[in-house]
Homo-oligomer: A and B are copies of this chain.
C-alpha cells in the first residue's frame, strides 16, 4: 500500500510558481485509485503504521533526538480542519501530539510580532505539532480585511520563509496543507449545520458575511502559497469536498513525513543483561 499512497503525497505537493486554485478540482481524489470505501479502508490500514512511526519519533525525542513534525492546516470555514484532526491525528497516541487552535490574537499577542504566539506553540522535540489555523492567518484574513498595511503584509511573507527555514534547520519537518473546498460545498455544509441542532454551536452568522469575500480569500491563498512554497516547507492543496479523501491525504502526508526520518528504536544506553540480573537478584520488598 505504501507505494500508491506515496504517489498521493507527491501529487498533492504544489509546484513552484504561481497557483490558480480555480483550476484545482475540490471534489477530486488525485493520486488515489479507489472510492470512499477503499479510501476509508486505506486510512484504517495506515493507522497502526502511523501510531508506530509516531512512537518512534517520541522515543527518538526522549533519547536525545532533535526531530519533530509541524502540520499546518489552513482552509475556509467548514473545510474540515477539525474533522481531519479527529480522523487522522486521532490515530496516534494523544501524548505524542500538541494541537493548537489559533483564534483572533489577544491584546497581549498583538503587542508582539505576529510570529511570537506561533513560536510559543511549537512542538517540543519528539512531538507532532498541529496548527489549526496558523501564522498564515496573518497574511490571509489580515490581507483580505486589511488588518495590517500592505507593506507589513509584504514583509510577513519573507519573515515566514525565514522563520520556517530556521525551524526546518533545527529538525522540524513542516507540512503545510490548504483544505480546498468549493463555495457551493461550504454553503451545503453551513446549511447542514443549521439543520442539525447538535451543530448550532459551531455556526457563526459572521461566517456568511465572510463568504461574500470568497474570491478575495482565494486570491490571498494563491499569493500566500506562491510566496511561501519553499523546498523545506512546501505547500499541499488537498481537495476537501470528499471528507474521506481529505482524511486519507493528510494521514498519508503525516505518514510519509514520519517515515522519511528513517528512525530505528533507540539503542539501550545501559547493560541489558546486568539490569535483568539486578531485578532478579533483588531482596524481597
Instruction: Please list the residues of chain A having a beta carbon within 8 angstroms of any beta carbon in chain B.
Output: 59, 62-63, 82, 85-86, 89-90, 93-95, 97, 99, 101, 132, 183, 187, 190-191, 194, 197-198, 200-203, 205, 208, 211-212, 214-215, 265-268, 270, 272, 275-276, 278-280, 282, 285
Name the one of B63, B211, B285 contacting A214, with C-beta atoms under 8 angstroms. Answer: B285
**Contact yes or no, B94 A197, CB < 8 A:** no
* Chain B nearest Cβ from A207, distance in angstroms: 9
* Chain B nearest Cβ from A52, distance in angstroms: 9
The DSSP consensus for interface residues of chain A is helix
* Closest B residue to A62 using CB positions: B201
**Contact yes or no, A266 B208, CB < 8 A:** no
Residues of B within 8 A of A279 (CB): 187, 190-191, 194, 208
* Chain B nearest Cβ from A175, distance in angstroms: 17
Which residue, of A59, A191, A201, A270, has the highest number of chain B Cβ atoms within 10 A? A201
